[in-house]
Amino acid sequence: MIAMFQNSKGNETNIKLPFSFIAFSMLALILSQVLLLLNGDLLVTGTFRLPAIWSAAHLFVLGWALMVAMGAMYQLVPVAFLTPIWNEKFGFVQFFITASGIVLFAAALYVRPQDALIPGIVTLTGILLFLVQMFMTLKSQAKPNILTLFVGSALLSLLATITLGIMLVLSMNTGFASDYYQVIFKSHILLGTAGWFSLLIFGFSYKMVPMFSLAHGYTMKPAVYVFLVYFSGMISLISSFLLESRNLEMLGTFLLFAGFVIFTWHVKKIIDKRVKKKLDRPFMFALFAIGCGAVIHLAAVASSAYSMLPKMAGPIIFLYLIAWIAFSIIGYLYKIVPFLWWTHKYSKEIGKQKVPSLKEMMDEKMALPLFLLFIVGAVLLTASFAAKLLFLFYIGQGLILIAAILFSFTIAKVVIK
Amino acid sequence: MNEVKDKIRENLKTVYDPELNINVVDLGLIYDIDIPEPRTARILMTLTTPGCPLHDSIASGIKYCVQGMEEIDRAEVQLTWEPAWTPDRMTEDGKRLLQGF
């Protein structure tokens, strides 16, 4: 009996591994927001495809969101799938390669995008090592479930995204597949956003929503429809890029929206079955992000219906990254970081002496003002894109930058305390 | 014997689920407390969700807590998912804390 208990130990990851990723990601977040602030004049006029913006976008998406996702997965995969990380040392090697790759890659994109190939390959190597780590870890999972489908597809989309990204740099340098440059470019963005981030957040939400709300007796059946409809939307949109078909584009954006709405409705059903009546603010912020995601997906359907998608894609993707991806990650990080540190510091003390609750680990007072800053910032950014007003952009982006710095500070405080 | 069991149950009220901030007894996680031989306790427990990240911490917290009692030298903690935890297992105090009634 006691052996059985002891066998269940050892799934926890060495705390330095997830925290290396999180610390790096916070620096990348702040730097990316500074870069965006400095290039407001380009963004407001709809010029999204310029080296400085590429650099900021990759710092944000790879340096922050991907690194956070990796760090969190190093911690969450063992607990969510009840299987230890395959090789921790390998994890640290993977961290150093990926982090160096991203720094060099963002710098190359800023200075001379043509030279981004080698840094791109270093980044690719780092991400591939991560995929190997996750594949080996998930392989030992006894019984795959719907979460495995979401997380597995997200990881495959990530692989496809970086492969297409490398092809883009190659194409830029050598003219390779230049006829398909646009198709590759659009697929790269779609797979990186809807394929990698949305599917990953869907999958982990199915674990975290019931856990944070203590929901019981809910059905998981809609999850498979979420996956099928959303995935069909991605296939349809990629086909529309290839065939230049407007009908497929409309169908694709509609299916993505429909999948997202089923997911939103399903999460609401789970929340309805909760035992914990009062939900905490960081978790509510992550739920709010789902609402934002649904509206942004609707905006894509509307743009496509009015043949405005090519023009609207820039602002839509920008807001998708801020209000859906970033807000989700920020909400969940607010929960995950105290948990990581608590486990590290107090898991040996519980039962022997009084230990703090997770709520007491993180500055809860900061949560509301911080989330309001992010929300007001995002609203002002939306308005600045719609009205093409530079001063609105500066205020909105300025607020987001302040919020990002405060958020990083709040995270750092948990560890320093 | 029953006195010791009651004392263990009472002591376990000092072990809190750090996420919910409710003790494991009022949360209904303790299924059974047994004293198979003198100075040895055996606790059968569950968690609210399989794959709960606090899994190891709470189970070892219970072990430390019981082993820290002067009546007990050795505590064995067995985790079970059968039957699964349901909200009905919470005590009235637990429900009040969680649902704010």
* Rounded percentage of chain B residues whose pLDDT exceeds 70: 97
Query: Is the Cβ of A363 closer than 8 Å to some Cβ of chain B?
Result: no
Q: Which two tokens stand for residue A363?
A: 């500055």
Asked, for residue A149, whether it belongs to a domain, the answer is no
Which chain A residue lies closest to B89 (C-alpha atoms)?
A: A275
pLDDT at A142: 60
Q: What is the pLDDT of residue A10?
A: 53
3-class DSSP state of B19? coil
Whether the predicted pLDDT of B37 surpasses 70: yes
Provide block-wise average pLDDT over 10 residues at a time, chain A (417 residues). Answer: 38 83 96 92 78 91 93 82 86 97 95 89 94 87 81 93 91 88 96 96 92 91 98 98 96 98 98 90 95 97 94 90 93 88 84 84 85 94 91 95 95 84
Amino acid, res. A405 = I
Whether B36 and chain A come into contact, CB under 8 Å, resolves to: no
Yes or no: say if A113 and A106 are a contact pair by the CB < 8 Å rule.
no
Residue A8: its pLDDT value, please? 39
Q: Is A7 on the interface with B (CB under 8 A)?
A: no
The answer to whether residue A317 sits within a structural domain is no
At A270, list the tokens.
């789970």
Which residues on adjacent β-strands are paired with residue B41? Answer: B75
The answer to the question of residue A206 being in a domain is no
Sequence-ordered strand ranges (E) for A271-393: none
**How far is residue B60's CA from residue A74's CA, in Å, rounded to a whole number?**
22
Contact predicate A364/A337, CB 8 Å: no
Within 178-217 of A, beta carbons closer than 8 Å to B belong to 207, 210-212, 214, 216-217
Using an 8 Å CB-CB cutoff, list chain A residues near B58. Answer: 350
Beta bridge partners of A274: A215
Q: Per the domain annotation, does A161 fall within a domain?
A: no
CB atoms within 10 A of CB A90: 15
CA torsion angle A33 A36 A37 A42 (round to 10):
-170
Which positions ≥6 away from A59 have C-beta within 8 Å? A28, A31, A32, A35, A102, A106
What value of ipTM does the predicted structure carry? 0.82
Report yes or no on A89 lying in a domain.
yes
| Number of CB pairs, chain A paired with chain B, less than 8 A apart | 109
- Averaged pLDDT score across all residues of chain B: 89
Q: What is the spatial distance between Cα A186 and Cα A193, in angstroms, rounded to a whole number? A: 11
Q: Maximum distance among all alpha carbons in chain A?
A: 67
Determine, for residues A275 and B87 on separate chains, whether the beta-carbon distance falls below 8 Å: yes
What is the phi-psi region of residue A341: left when phi exceeds 0, alpha when psi lies from -120 to 50, beta otherwise? alpha
Cα of A196 vs its chain's centroid, Å: 8
Rounded-to-integer distance, Cα B91 and Cα A357, Å: 20
Return the structure tokens found at B63.
Answer: 């072990």
In a domain, A385, yes or no: no
Token reading at B42:
């055996």
User: Residues of B with CB below 8 A from A207's CB?
Assistant: 51
> Which residue range forms the structural domain that includes residue A47?
14-143
Full set of structural domains in chain B with CATH:
2-99 (3.30.300.130)
Q: Residue B100: its pLDDT value, please?
A: 65
- Looking at the structure of chain A, the number of domains it has is 1
A352 touches chain B (CB under 8 A): yes
**Is there a domain that residue A135 lies in?**
yes
Residue of A139, A134, A8, A137 whose CA lies nearest to A66: A134
